[in-house]
């Protein structure tokens, strides 16, 4: 099964994708995570992407579709893929169709996380992750059980994304409204879109997504 999680920054795409990975053995393909890894490694893609991401703008369609195509060729994607943060433009949606068709695969669901944009700045600005294992936390909504210690790996080091500040978040939302939201009708016309209330509790959002994947 191949699905797209669609929603503005902070809607909960990454949170839900990691739960689906753990529950269903699907692989999360987050273009944001892949680009951040490229920036960290200082690769040519990373050098091009760094300032664009820090400004909250979109990296070029060719770069992101290129990295998705390479990733789809890896064998661990055979059980199914969760596209998280991709596609983000009409051109990327077309490129994804081509990438899947060339590999004899198809899209099963496009799940839109509907959210109240006013709540998203708070969600994003309060977000941080474990520097060692990447587990996600939030200043208010998801704190470690023992303050300052990662629940998963016990590390005491945490980090925040450089683009998780109020000003950049607003640019990311403008980009979402202008370039990403308009791709929904493409998938609606194919009967692939299901909407989930992304303002519900994290567990309830997971249950709603699982029900869609189970055809309930
Ligand atoms: P990317 O990394 O994809 O960022 P994003 O889309 O802005 O999404 P986020 O990761 O910020 O949010 P999320 O929806 O995953 O929310 P999360 O689960 O963490 O992209 C970053 C940049 O890379 C882009 O700006 C662009 O420059 C570039 N890029 C990436 N892909 C690209 C592409 N395809 N084309 C071009 N450029 C691209 O949740 C947020 C917080 O809220 C967490 O703390 C979480 O604990 C909390 N939370 C989640 N759900 C709930 C809930 N239901 N209730 C309460 N709190 C919740």
Question: Would you state the pLDDT for residue 117?
Answer: 85
Question: Would you state the pLDDT for residue 25?
Answer: 87
Q: Which residues contact residue 141 at a Cβ distance below 8 angstroms, ignoring those fewer than 6 apart?
A: 123, 126, 202
85 Cα to the center of ligand 1, angstroms: 7
- Ligand 1: atom nearest CA of 138 is 44
Nearest-angstrom CA–CA distance, 82 and 4: 6
Ligand 1 contact via 181 beta carbon (within 6 Å): no
Burial of 64 (0-12, 13-18, 19+ CB in 10 A): buried
Burial of 83 (0-12, 13-18, 19+ CB in 10 A): buried
Nearest-angstrom CA–CA distance, 179 and 201: 28
Question: Would you state the pLDDT for residue 51?
Answer: 95
- Ligand 1: atom nearest CA of 204 is 53
Q: With a cut of 70, which residues of the chain have pLDDT below it?
A: none
41-98 pLDDT, tens per residue?
A: 999 999 999 999 999 999 999 999 999 999 999 999 988 999 999 999 999 999 999 9
Measured from the Cβ of residue 63, the count of other Cβ atoms closer than 10 Å reads 19
Ligand 1 contact via 109 beta carbon (within 6 Å): no
10 Cα to the center of ligand 1, angstroms: 5
Ligand 1 contact via 209 beta carbon (within 6 Å): no
In 3D space, the residue among 71, 115, 120, 69 whose CA is nearest the CA of residue 96 turns out to be 69
Q: Tell me the pTM.
A: 0.94
In 3D space, the residue among 123, 173, 163, 148 whose CA is nearest the CA of residue 33 turns out to be 163
Ligand 1 contact via 88 beta carbon (within 6 Å): yes
- Ligand 1: atom nearest CA of 164 is 11
CB 2 within 8 A of CB 77: no
Ligand 1 contact via 35 beta carbon (within 6 Å): yes
Question: Would you state the pLDDT for residue 216?
Answer: 79
Q: Is 195 a catalytic residue?
A: no
DSSP class of residue 87 equals -
């Amino acid at each position: 099964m191949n699905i797209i999680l669609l929603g503005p920054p902070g809607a909960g795409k990454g949170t839900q994708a990691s739960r689906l990975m753990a529950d269903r053995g699907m692989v999360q393909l987050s273009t944001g995570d892949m680009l951040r890894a490229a920036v960290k490694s200082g690769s040519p893609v990373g050098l091009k992407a760094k300032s664009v991401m820090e400004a909250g703008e979109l990296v070029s369609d060719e770069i992101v579709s290129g990295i998705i195509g390479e990733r789809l060729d890896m064998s661990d994607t055979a059980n199914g893929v969760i596209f998280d943060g991709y596609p983000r433009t009409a051109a990327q949606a077309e490129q994804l169709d081509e990438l899947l068709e060339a590999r004899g695969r198809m899209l099963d669901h496009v799940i839109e996380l509907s959210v109240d944009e006013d709540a998203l700045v708070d969600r994003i600005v309060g977000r941080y992750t474990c520097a060692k294992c990447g587990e996600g936390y939030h200043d208010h909504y998801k704190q470690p059980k023992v303050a300052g210690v990662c629940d998963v790996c016990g590390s005491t080091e945490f980090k925040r994304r450089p683009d998780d500040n109020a000003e950049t978040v607003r640019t990311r939302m403008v980009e979402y409204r202008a370039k990403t939201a308009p791709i929904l009708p493409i998938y609606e016309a194919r009967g692939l879109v299901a909407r989930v209330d992304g303002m519900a509790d994290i567990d309830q959002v997971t249950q709603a997504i699982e029900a869609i994947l189970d055809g309930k």
